[in-house]
Structure 1
């Protein structure tokens, strides 16, 4: 979930959204869904909750829903693609929290490969080009080199 609509790509507003119930029994409405990406790692169906002060991520969604491996230790956290054993994201813990430093690409500008190719095709090209980052793969696609 995020309260930063500008970080979402492919945002789809909802007329009637679901709700999120906070621990102190406050209820807020989900205004829509989008995708957050840093060009190499993407999370789809991210809920936009107006006024949310911190981005929240479900570890269960990453593990069960997407099929990634997530580990936590005294140094920090790691998100790993199970099949290729590729490190997608690594971050150090701060106090009792494990914040993710995703540095998202802002919403509107198009990343051609991520938007035009399926997720499987995008990862296939990523692996075929020796794990080249998606930003550089997109340059290849836009220049008709791929």
Structure 2
């Protein structure tokens, strides 16, 4: 049996994870993103991105660069995803905020390399880059002001088609969520009932016109509460 070993160089000067081998990427999206400049002053096109999956470990959002002769892990992209990259004399580590080692590599001459095929994770590990603040709040609103922990679970478990694979976080409070979760003082119990039969006293509330219609095309909400029942 022939084992194909894929080495990734941990590069502090690389802005994004990138590879020159498109066959390594799953869920590939073909899209021209821009160009990168090599050390010899030559330029190459970034023609898409995908996920590098090896066993239980997934590295999300890896660029495909035509003509790139190496596979590069970006220290900056790891750090943007709230991960820590540590270097020692003979080893390097990618850790989460709790200090758990997610990826480990060794030093070959002057280069630190990681071979994920030699690693085994006891549980699925998904290393995602961090979304911008604008993108995070955009998906927070699109998903009906869903909390960011659940949004990240949807992304990690791939439960929503079309949701970009980023790590979403909040940098301030959502004013709409804050108003919606504000507590109100409870009403005192009535000692004397104000009605004696059903439909005698109704409380009604009409909400609308909504900017976006419901699935059935409705733009108003009418709520009726019977005081007696």
Bigger RCO of structures 1 and 2 (CA < 8 A, at least 6 apart): 1
Cα distance change on mapping 1:39 and 1:82 into 2, 3 Å: farther
Q: RMSD in angstroms over aligned alpha carbons?
A: 2.3
Pick the structure with more strand per residue. Answer: 2
How far, CA to CA, are the matches of 2:85 and 2:154 in structure 1?
26
Q: Which residue matches 2:8?
A: none
Q: Which residue of 72, 93, 104 maps to 1:78?
A: 93
| Bigger Rg, which one | 2
Equivalent residue of 2:73, what SS? coil
Stretches of structure 2 lacking an aligned partner (at least 5 in a row): 1-17, 119-125, 127-152, 159-229
Equivalent residue of 2:78, what SS? helix
Equivalent residue of 1:6, what SS? helix
Correspondence 1:18 to 2:34: yes
Q: Which residue matches 1:118?
A: 155
Pick the structure with more helix per residue. Answer: 1
Cα distance change on mapping 1:7 and 1:87 into 2, 3 Å: same
Cα distance change on mapping 1:103 and 1:117 into 2, 3 Å: farther
What's the TM-score, normalizing by structure 2? 0.43
Stretches of structure 1 lacking an aligned partner (at least 5 in a row): 105-113, 123-146
Q: Which residue of 84, 103, 109 maps to 1:89?
A: 103
| Total equivalences in the alignment | 108
What's the TM-score, normalizing by structure 1? 0.66
